[in-house]
A and B are shown apart, each in its own frame.
Chain A
C-alpha cells in the first residue's frame, strides 16, 4: 500500500522549492525588464549571475569581504556594467532595430563570459564557505539554511525595489511606457537608448544581487549560467512577460514544481517537467498564469 508522506514533508518541500525558485525569479525579473524595452531575450543573464558569484567569491577570498555585505559593491558595479554593456554592445543593433543581431550578441557575450571565467578561475565547481554556511534556522518546525533564507530575502528585496522604481519614479514610469509603446514614448521626449540602458543597468544589478545569493548557497561553475537563463525564461513565461511581480512568482512556482517532482517522481525528471511546463504555458496560456489575454490596442 502507498504510504502517504507526513505533512511535514510538504512544508519542507514547499519551503525548499520557494527558496530555490526565488533565484530563478530574480533572474526572470532581469529578463523581463530587458525584454520589455528591447524585445530581446537576454540569454547571457545567467552567465552574468555566475560572473557575479565569482566576483563575490573573489572579494571574500582576497579581501575577506562578507558575501552579503558585498551587495553594496556588487549592485553598483552591476548598474555600471549594465549601462556599459548596453552602450558598448547593444546600442548599435538597437538603432538598426535588428533583434537577431541583438540575440546573437547576447549569446556571444554569454560564451565569452563563460570562457573568460574558465580561464581566470578554472572550470571546477566553486563555492563560498563562510562561518555561517552550515548554520540552519527553524521556521514552523521545519529546518532551512540561513544562507538560502537570506537569498530569498535578497530576491524579494531586489524585486520590491525594482517595482518601486518602476511605479514611483518618473524615469521608472518612462521605462514602463517605453515597454508598452516605444514610438509613443519617443513622442514624449523619452529616449529609447536611455530606457534601454536603464533596463540593462537594473537587469545586471539584479544579476549581481542574484550572484550573491547563488555564491552563498550553491556550488557553481562557469557554465552553470546557461541553465539558469533557461529556467528564468520558464519563470518568465509562467509569470507573464511584462510583469515584474509575475516574474518572481513564476520563479517560485517553478521552484515548487521542481521540488515536488524531484521528491515524488525523481531527480532525473525535474528538467524535463520544467521545460514541458514551459511549452504547455506558451501553447495554452501565453500571457502567463496570472495575466489576462492580450487585447490588441
Chain B
C-alpha cells in the first residue's frame, strides 16, 4: 500500500433521522489529486463536512495519517493539517484580502511562517497582492475563489479540500482554476476535490470516486473513469464544455 494520507472507512452520516452517507470508503494518497464526482444531492458536500468535523460521524472511521478525525472539533481538525474550502467559499467578506490570508495562517504552527506563506501565495496569485487592501466581498467571483484557495494554502496543509471551486465561474476562469489546481499538485499539495465539472475533474485527478445517493458507485483512476461508457452516458453528456 502506498502512502495513504486520508482513509475513510464505512462512513455513515445523517441529518437527524435522514441518512446521507451509507458506508462510504475512500482514500487519498499523499501527493495526489483525488476527485469525488456525482449528481446533485449525492452526498459530496456531506462527505467533506464530515471529514473536517462540521458534521458528526454516525458510524465508521476517518483517519489522517493514522490520527482519527471522528470526534475532534473542526478547529482541532484544521490544526491537524486539513484546510477545507467550503461550498460558498466561506470568505470573511467584510475583511480585507490580506486579513483573510492572515487568518488562513491563524494556527500557531502556521503563524510563525506567515511572511513566507504570504509571499508564496502572492507569487501564485499576483492579483490578490494588487487587491490586498480591498474587502474580500468586493472581489469578482473568480478572484473570491482564488482568495479562498490561497487562504487555505496559507497553513501549508497536509490535505487541501475543495468543494466545487469552479461553481458560478465563467468558462475562462474555470480553466484558470483547474490549471491552478494542477500547479498546486505539482508543488506537492495533496488535494481532495469535489466537482460538478466532471470531465475536467477526472482529467486532472490521479484517482476518483463516483458518489451516488450516499454510496460509492464506482472508483478508478481519472483516465479509467473518463473512458467508462457508463460515466460518459450518466454524467458527461450535457456537462461537456
Contacts and interface: CB of A to CB of B under 8 A. Distances in A.
Given A186-B73, A186-B78, A187-B78, A181 B106 contact: no
Contact of A297 (B93, B111, B155): B93
B95 A181 contact: no
Given A170-B111, A181-B92, A191 B73 contact: yes
B52 to A, nearest CB: 6
B106 A183 contact: no
Interface stretch (A11-19, A46-54, A128-136, A171-179): A171-179
B90 A187 contact: yes
Nearest to B99: A173
A146 to B, nearest CB: 39
B90 A192 contact: no
Nearest to B80: A189
Nearest to B85: A187
Contact of A170 (B54, B86, B90, B106): B106
A188 interface: yes
A73 interface: no
Q: How large is the interface on A (under 10, 10 to 19, 20 to 34, 35 or more residues)?
A: 10 to 19
Interface string B94-122: 11000100111011000100000000000
B95 A192 contact: no
B199 interface: no
Interface string A268-297: 000000000000000000000000000101
Nearest to A191: B75
Contact of A176 (B54, B84, B88, B95): B95
B92 A180 contact: yes
Contacts of B88: 297
Contacts of B94: 176, 180
B91 interface: yes
Interface string B123-166: 00000000000000100000000000001000100000000000
Contact of A183 (B90, B104, B111, B155): B90
A173 B79 CA distance: 18
A189 B79 contact: yes
A245 interface: no
Contacts of B86: 183-184, 187
Contacts of B91: 184
Given A170-B111, A184-B86, A190 B93 contact: no
B92 A187 contact: no
A177 B155 CA distance: 17
Contacts of A192: 75
B74 to A, nearest CB: 4
B73 A188 contact: no
A94 to B, nearest CB: 12
Contact of A186 (B75, B83, B151): B75
Contact of A189 (B102, B106, B137): B106
A183 B54 CA distance: 8
A190 B110 CA distance: 13
Given A183-B86, A183-B90, A188 B104 contact: yes
Nearest to A167: B99
Contacts of B95: 173, 176-177, 180
Contacts of B111: 170
Contacts of A174: 103, 106
B75 A190 contact: yes
A180 B93 contact: yes
A189 B99 contact: no
Contacts of A185: 92, 103
Interface string A180-210: 1101111111111000000000000000000
A189 B90 contact: no
Contacts of A187: 52, 54, 74-75, 78, 83-84, 86, 90
Interface in B40-88: 52, 54, 73-75, 78-79, 83-84, 86, 88
26 contacts: A170-B106, A173-B95, A173-B102, A176-B92, A176-B94, A176-B95, A177-B95, A177-B99, A180-B93, A180-B95, A181-B90, A183-B86, A184-B90, A185-B103, A187-B75, A187-B78, A188-B106, A189-B75, A189-B78, A189-B79, A189-B107, A191-B73, A191-B75, A295-B137, A297-B88, A297-B93
- 3 closest A-B pairs (Cβ-Cβ)? A184-B90, A189-B107, A189-B78
Interface of A: 170, 173-174, 176-177, 180-181, 183-192, 295, 297
Given A188-B106, A189-B78, A297-B93, 7 more contacts: A176-B95, A181-B92, A187-B54, A187-B74, A187-B75, A188-B103, A188-B107
